[in-house]
Amino acid sequence: MGWEKETMSVTGIIAGGRAFGQCFFVSKAAGVHAAAVLDLVDRFILHLATERGLSVSYQILVRGFLEAFASWFKEAHGSENPAQVTTDLITGYLIRRKKDGLATSSARVELIALKIFFRWLAARKHIPADPADAILPPRTERHLPDTLNEHDVRRLIESITGVTPLDRRDRAMLELFYASGLRLAELLDARLENLSLEEGWIRVTGKGSKTRIIPVGGAARDAISAYLEHARPALVRAKSSSHIFLSNRGQKLGPDRIRDIFTERAAACGLEKHIHPHKMRHSFATHLLNHGADLRVIQEMLGHSDIATTQIYTHVDQARLKETHRKFHPRA
């Protein structure tokens, strides 16, 4: 059997992808004949269902991607033979999909479907080599965290001046979010026995069941103390738990109610920005960094297992510096 070696230079399929070279072989033997792509798609979907036990919804998703590719391949190149699919053809198809508005996250899923399909074809000798093997998935677009500036944080928190139990609760809750950078689930699960106002810390259990101790600043301690002394007793019912923050029925607050509280309090003080609990966590980290806190310390307080996750806040700071420079420098 004769083989012809073709060397191809392939660029990243989508913005953010890496360039690489790919060598693979195309059969030139007259006796080699492959089934049509759509026929093989049917067999592959059956393989996903019977041998890999994947869900019907996933089968439908993959079939849609593969049939769209097969249709494009036939229309654009007049062929239904998968052995004639090259790395450059797959790359070109994905670039076209990107230009048509396909999101990066969707492009990754579509590429995975193509890769497992062509890997399956190569393993069963339907094609001489896998043309999708060396194509790297596009890098996930990393969006910078949305934050509040220090003035808006102060405006939001200090707008709650009432002394009703719910006013005191909401003020204490917002103070704690900003003082400690808690995740929403961590604040919901916070209990009295894990809080020490005297020593100024709270113990929480975060992702991966990892426990950490986080400082609680003076403003938050004062607000929480006022809530515990003057407000929480009025919310407690016979079956109330030891959760710090309770609903007006004495129950543990749910995540939707917390989000509603943020929305309501932001609207009440005239903040038009969409404000949610995680934005307060982002603000906590960004403001610490702006004031010179060590990145490793911020990582520990946020409960990040990887410093790379925390480093996103350095990009927030750099982005703000660039914007300030662009706005105020006379020759920017």
Residues designated catalytic: 183, 207, 278, 281, 304, 313
Dihedral angle sign, alpha carbons of residues 195, 199, 205, 211: negative
Measured between alpha carbons, how far is 280 from 295 in angstroms, rounded to an integer? Answer: 18
Q: Which residues contact 26 (CB under 8 A, 6 or more apart)?
A: 3, 4, 6, 83, 84, 86, 128
In this structure, are residues 37 and 149 in contact, taking their beta carbons and an 8 Å threshold?
A: no
